[in-house]
Structure formats: structure tokens, C-alpha cells
Amino acid sequence: MRVMAFASQKGGSGKTTLAGHIAVQAERAGAGPVAIIDTDPQGSLSDWWNVRQAQTPVFAQTFISRLVQDLQKMRDIGIQILIFDTPPAITATIAQVIRVCDLVVIPTRPSPHDLRAAGATVDLVENLDKSLVFVLNGATPRARITAEAAIALSQHGTVAPVTIHHRTEFASSMIDGRTVMEIAGNRRSVDEITRLWSYLADRLDRCTRPRESRTYPGPAAHNRPPATYYGPATETA
């Protein structure tokens, strides 16, 4: 099982939207079963899942006190990709989540406030010796500040080669539990998510391969039994 978290100290960076979209795209690409865990007290990802009609990805609940044990249970039942959404603050909860991750994705909007806020998340990830990647999110097409933000972030870590641009369909699709891949929307949005997942999947492979001797299965893994639904998301530090 490969574990990824979307984390950022800055609220409004798009963690929840990207977590939901990447989870769905991972399933569509045959990398599942995929499970999501919402550790944000606002519960936006769990709200999205609760109105979702599709059966995948599955939703899992855990508490920090039993995080390691619950992750082992998910491995045992065949979960291949686990994605965390995290609170918009540096807390003990985020630190515990990052400790069990293979890759931390830091969504960052191309603005001075977001760039400054990314520092605390980077420090935490580096102190825990985990791999990270920045994703420029909510960008304006052809805006100069987007390129400037990518250059600034590259001084502190890897920047994903795929930029997610600001389009209302990303948010509107989430209202009824869907994603841009599941509505008749702008194909450019679908292409961005598809390419971003492909990149993140490759990063996950590279993060985990040196530490494990087994080879992760591809599309055939989707034939494994579905995971257990653990209930609505709650979190305590």
C-alpha cells in the first residue's frame, strides 16, 4: 500500500478538491482499491464522499491513537493507494499522518501569501525525512506569477510539471460528490488531473521501490475485494 497526504498550512489551497480528484483518477487508472481518510475537522472530504453515488474510492475512519494499526488493516484487505486530507494548520495530527506517508503533496496557489505559508509545511516534511512535491493549484492561464511561483518553490523542493488551473467546475463538481472526470465539462481540466495522477503515481513508485522488494501490481489490483467502510470521518489529536 502506498500512502499519500495532501497537506498545507494555508487554508484554501485546494487540498480537499485535489485529494478527491486524485483518488477518483487513481481508481479510474486501475491503481485501486483506493481509500481516503479525512483528518480535517471541517470534514469537507467526508461531506463530498457522503453525497457521492459511486462506490469508489472507499472511505476509512481512523484516530491518531490507532493510526498504525488501522493502516495495517487496510493493507491486509488489499488497499493499494491511501490518500489523506489534512487540516489547514501545523498540528500534531499532521505530523502523525506525515510519519506514515510515502509522499506529501503540498498544493500551493501562485500568490505571495501561499508561497510564504508553504514554508512551515516544508519544514515539517523535511524534519520527518519524507518526500514532497509542490502542485501549483488554482493558477490563472498564462499569468506571469505562475511561472514565478514555480521558480520560487523549486528552491525548496520538486514542483510537479502539471499545473492545475482555476476553473469553477473543479468546485462545482464536488458539490454532489463527483469530479471533473465525471461531468460534461472542460476537457482541459480532465487532462490536468489525468496527467497529475500519472506524475504522482510515478513519484510514489520511486519513493517506495527502494524500501520494498515487492513490485506493486498495476490494473489487476483493481480486482481485489473492496475495502471495508469504517464510518464517518472523525479525528482526535
Residue pLDDT tens, the chain, 237 long: 999 999 998 888 999 999 999 999 999 999 999 999 999 999 999 999 999 999 999 999 998 889 999 999 999 999 999 999 998 877 788 899 999 999 999 999 999 888 888 888 999 999 999 999 999 999 998 899 999 999 999 999 999 999 999 999 999 999 999 999 999 877 999 999 999 999 999 999 998 875 544 343 333 333 333 333 333 333 333
pLDDT at residue 210, as a whole number: 56
- Taking the CB of residue 72, how many other CB atoms lie within 10 A of it? 11
What is the rounded distance in angstroms from the CA atom of residue 216 to the CA atom of residue 2?
9
Write down the pTM of the prediction: 0.86
Q: Are residues 5 and 86 in contact, defined by beta-carbon separation less than 8 angstroms?
A: yes
Q: Where are the beta strands (DSSP E) in the chain?
A: 2-6, 34-38, 58-59, 81-85, 103-108, 131-139, 158-159, 164-165
Q: Which CATH architecture fits 2-209? A: 3-Layer(aba) Sandwich (3.40)
Contacts of 51-54 spanning 24+ positions with Cβ under 8 A = 51/175, 51/176, 51/177, 52/176, 52/177, 52/178, 53/177, 54/24, 54/177, 54/178, 54/182
What is the rounded distance in angstroms from the CA atom of residue 68 to the CA atom of residue 230?
15
Q: Return the CA Rg of the chain.
A: 16
Q: Are residues 23 and 48 in contact, defined by beta-carbon separation less than 8 angstroms?
A: no
At residue 139, what are phi and psi to the nearest 5 degrees?
A: -80, 155
Q: Which residues pair with 2 in a beta bridge?
A: 81
pLDDT at residue 89, as a whole number: 78
